[in-house]
Amino acid sequence: MTVAIVTGASRGLGLALALGLAENGYRLVIDARDATTLDRAQAEISQRAEVIAIVGDITDPAHRLALVQASDTLGGLDLLVNNAGILGPSPLPPLARLALVDYRRVLEVGVVAPLALSQLALPRLRARHGAVVNVTSDAAVEAYEGWGGYGSAKAALEQLSHVLAAEERDVRVWWVDPGDLRTRMHQQAFPGEDISDRPLPETVVPGFRRLLAERPPSGRFRAADLLAPVSA
């Protein structure tokens, strides 16, 4: 049986990915900060696969260790999905007014914690020729007003992923831009606006499944490209 850790899996893209992995036969370790939503996610996923849910903050070293140790109890670790992240203040402020305390929190959750969790996971992933998936954003490569904090964190995560891929020859490292999705975080970026035209998170799951099935070399991928038909 294959085993995956998916962070931030109580709702949105994280939950959709966890459900998709469960359908593909993965045993799962999931986490979130809110116990109520995590319990609901665990109940839904458990109908398809074995799942361990651990409440906690991904910036807490003890919590990260608990996630990795839980994967050991399921038989090992084949896949780490660093999905957890935060937007920062809403409405999104320009950089001139971005409070540094808020920016540090975005960086801790979106850059430092994924690296720290990857460091714990890498010995296990190397042994099983596993993979790391870091969820990124087009805000990492495009300049959108108000997105300086979140976007620069994702840019840092992308470069971190790129270097990790160069260093870890026995592990696949993929950083994936899922595109704009109809999630609570995306709604927070556009308070009061109707985002119902954005696709639901589950619509991009087949793209992630394709990535895992085909196991291309480490690199950056867009879900839109992974969802495109394969040319003859």
First vs last Cα of the chain: how many Å apart? 33
To the query of whether residue 150 is one of the catalytic residues in this protein, the response is: yes
Count other Cβ atoms within 10 Å, centred on residue 153. 29
Count other Cβ atoms within 10 Å, centred on residue 26. 24
Q: Of 26, 103, 144, 150, which one is the catalytic site residue?
A: 150
Three-class secondary structure assignment of 110-174:
HHHHHHHHHHHHHHHHHHHCCEEEEECCHHHCCCCCCCHHHHHHHHHHHHHHHHHHHHCCCCEEE
**In the chain, which residue ranges form alpha helices assigned H by DSSP?**
12-23, 35-45, 61-73, 100-107, 113-128, 148-167, 184-189, 205-214, 223-227
Residue positions annotated with a catalytic role? 150
